[in-house]
Amino acid sequence: MAHGTTTIQYERLAEIGGGAYGTVYKARDIESGQFVALKSMRVQMDNNGLPTSTVREVALLKRLEQFDHPNVLRLMDVCATPRSEQETKVTLVFEHVDQDLKTYLEKAPAPGLAPERIKDLMRQVLCGLAFLHSNRVMHRDLKPENILVTSQGQVKLADFGLARMYSCHMALTPVVVTLWYRPPEVLLQSSYASPVDVWSCGCIFAEMFKRKPLFCGQSEVDQLGKIFEVIGLPPEEEWPSDVTLSREHFPPCSARPPTDFVPEIDEQGARLLLEMLTFDPAKRISALNALNHPYFCNQETLTQTQS
């Protein structure tokens, strides 16, 4: 990890977001003139004076950098500045992208994005996700705010791997992290793995058509209730055994067809959506398999016939 101060090489220009993960600044690299995004966090030291878990996480992010994946935001630099014996300030320097998917969707003129555009964006999100998962990185907090879209329409996943890094820092911030993209296993506080990100993808997929979030719960229980109203109450045998909240807490309800809640979606899109919004994480489609879904196959044949 590079030691030294970030202030010399990077000139801060503007605050671009204060989320659960501290403040983000747009800055300019004084040497290259290139715009970057700076994210700083305070990290507590262990007995050896090292923020071990953070060092591990940052090393992993740096390793991903070697692959230079087109749908993953580039981590360009890491700077550590000791603040005291107990605390170090770690600044991550990312490439800067002007807008996120939330803004991109808001800016789309009515009636919203064209179906082929949604398909292209979804394919890029899944490409980035399949790459992260193949490198054993879970995003854990995928939502429209941390999916960036360049002016050329290229998708870049941001803030992956940070949820773990910042969890110790979270207690210091009063910001409430949204529940709307969280899968049932996280809401139920059961064990979870990479399928969590695929659930979030499903929520975002529906939102691209609807132009508003699919499930807007006020609390964990309310969020689950809103999910079951759409996908149906799962059978007893699928309910995780390691959770305190019982299935009896929720009224019985059956699954609704996707076209009920996302009327604009086509048949293959609806099938993919159901496979992403599957209650049991073991039965949920993986990012890699989602990329091979017939919903995307049509796109290739379409381009081939046009060329």
- Reference 7, options 93, 76, 85; nearest CA is 93
Return all residues near 259 (Cβ < 8 A) that are at least 6 apart.
265, 270
Among the options 29, 46, 77, 141, which is catalytic?
141
Structure tokens at 96: 């800067």
- Reference 33, options 81, 84, 96; nearest CA is 96
* Amino acid type, 299: Q
141 flagged as catalytic: yes
- Catalytic positions are 141
